[in-house]
Amino acid sequence: MSAGVGVDLENLWIRFGDFVAVRDANVHIKGGDFFSFLGPSGCGKTTILRAVSGFLEPSEGNVLIGGNNMQGIGPNKRPTALIFQNLALFPLMKVWENITFSMEIAGASARDRRKRADELLDMIALPGQGDKLPSELSGGQRQRVAIARALCAEPDVLLLDEPLSALDLKLRQHMRTELREIQKRVGITFIYITHDQGEALTMSDDIAVMRAGVIDQIADGKTIYNDPATAFAASFVGENNVFRGKVLEVRGDQALIRTNRSGDLLSRISTANKGKMNVGDDAMMFIRPEALSLAPTGTQGDHFVTAKVNHEEFEGNTFNIFMEGDGGKELKVAIPNHGQSFEDHSGQDMTLEYEVNNAVAVPAGELAAE
């Protein structure tokens, strides 16, 4: 496995007229990594990808691939290959011609191309399908042909623009594993764009969470999930319950927050915000549904929450309880199903308990839209 070629974005700004699509992005992507940009649609992640692939010149800042500045170098000269959202397979070429298009451009003979295509078709588990047209393949097969076509160009960096979004759920989950395996096998840098946190978390070495042109946090999946840097990252990645309030007291790495409707609650301050949260600041506290558990009703304390139950549902592996929450949002509690008996508490008050370490406080900020 080769070390791979790294990609750096330095103070990258991209503007379209007055609209700022990407604001001062600084990202270091290690060679051979599977790196994801995760964000809702319209957050500028595709714009970054187009800047890396060369279809777009940044307004300010630089794109470096393997340490070389890519300014003024067109997409056909960059060591990148892009897998388009709609795959963009050439509809009139057979599968093998599609896969070896880059070789045709380079002037390779038909025999060499055929041979290489057969190798790649074996790799993507479509042996002997080279003479079909793309329209004669299924969605997942087309997907793999697009990957083979990009790999045939032997790029240093493979860019993927939400390539799985057109597939159905089952196939998407299957392709996640497959993509990750291919990446490990070829050992080149993958840059992956997605709005699906599941895809980002399962496949990536590192993830950049983007919001409206700004990169909120860059870290591995576990860190982003457990230790979000911003309210947006906390609410966008996975399900989360939010408590709004003001910092009442800072105790080292912990903060006591006077919440709007659940009293004073204690939580851990997220790593990125240590030392930055002061008494009196607006703050948000996040607790995952699975981190809450039931406690004797009416228990008071700085890690107990009491609220009225709106409704409950049974989801198989968990019982979900929805309670009156903060700011019109419901508070969700997920109780693992161990086969215990479970009674309906709708309309009653219930008290929940959490471990302080599982609650995380960040400065108040924009939440992800649901």
Partner 1 sequence: MTTDKIIRVSIWVYLGIFFAYLLGPLIIMSVTAFNSPSFPRMTPWECLTFNWFGELFRDERILNGIWNSILVGFGTVIMSVSMGLAGALMLTQIWPKLRATYYTIIIAPILIPGVVIGISTLVFWDRINRMLGLGADSFLSNGLFLTIIGQSTFIASYCMLVLVARLQRYDMALTEAALDLGATHAQAFRKVLMPFMMPAILSASVLAFLASFENYNTTTFTFGEYPTLTIELAQKVRYGITPAISALAFMIVALTVFFALINEANIKRKKMIAEARKDATVGELAGKIEVPGLVSRNPAAIAVIVLVIGVATVTASAMTYSPDQCIADVQEQKRLETEKRIQELRDRRAKEAADKAAAEGAEGGAIQSAPKPSNNSGFGGVFAPNTLQNEDEGASDEGAAGSSNNSGFGNVFDPNAIGNDDN
* Site residues, partner 1 (CB under 8 A): 53-55, 74-77, 80-82, 84-86, 88, 90-92, 101-102, 104-106, 128-133, 136, 149-150, 153
Taking the complex as a whole, the smallest distance from the CB of residue 75 to partner 1 amounts, in Å, to 5
Taking the complex as a whole, the smallest distance from the CB of residue 103 to partner 1 amounts, in Å, to 9
Q: How far apart are CA 74 and CA 141, in angstroms?
A: 30
Give 111 or 251: the residue with its C-beta nearer to partner 1.
Answer: 111
> At residue 225, what is the residue type?
Y
Is 341 in a helix, a strand, or coil? Answer: coil
Taking the complex as a whole, the smallest distance from the CB of residue 49 to partner 1 amounts, in Å, to 11
Q: How far apart are CA 26 and CA 279, in angstroms?
A: 31
Give 74 or 301: the residue with its C-beta nearer to partner 1.
Answer: 74
Give 87 or 359: the residue with its C-beta nearer to partner 1.
Answer: 87
Q: How far apart are CA 251 and CA 260, in angstroms?
A: 20
Give 88 or 171: the residue with its C-beta nearer to partner 1.
Answer: 88
Taking the complex as a whole, the smallest distance from the CB of residue 84 to partner 1 amounts, in Å, to 5
Q: How far apart are CA 56 and CA 48, in angstroms?
A: 9
Task: Give, rounded to a whole angstrom, the gap between the first and last alpha carbons of the chain.
Answer: 41
Taking the complex as a whole, the smallest distance from the CB of residue 182 to partner 1 amounts, in Å, to 18
Q: Choose among 195, 192, 170, 173: nearest CA to 183.
A: 192
Give 109 or 346: the residue with its C-beta nearer to partner 1.
Answer: 109
Taking the complex as a whole, the smallest distance from the CB of residue 38 to partner 1 amounts, in Å, to 22
Give 88 or 256: the residue with its C-beta nearer to partner 1.
Answer: 88
Q: How far apart are CA 36 and CA 138, in angstroms?
A: 26
Q: How far apart are CA 264 and CA 251, in angstroms?
A: 14
DSSP output for 244-310: EEEEEEEETTEEEEEESSS-EEEEEEPGGGTTT--TT-EEEEEE-GGG-EEE-TT--STTEEEEEEE
Give 5 or 247: the residue with its C-beta nearer to partner 1.
Answer: 5
Q: Choose among 184, 186, 226, 188: nearest CA to 207.
A: 226
Residues in the chain: 370
Q: Choose among 240, 213, 217: nearest CA to 228.
A: 217
Give 18 or 343: the residue with its C-beta nearer to partner 1.
Answer: 18
Helix (H) or strand (E) holding 24, with range, is: strand 19-29
Taking the complex as a whole, the smallest distance from the CB of residue 7 to partner 1 amounts, in Å, to 16
Taking the complex as a whole, the smallest distance from the CB of residue 27 to partner 1 amounts, in Å, to 21
Taking the complex as a whole, the smallest distance from the CB of residue 92 to partner 1 amounts, in Å, to 5
Give 77 or 184: the residue with its C-beta nearer to partner 1.
Answer: 77
Tokens 């078709």, located at residue: 121
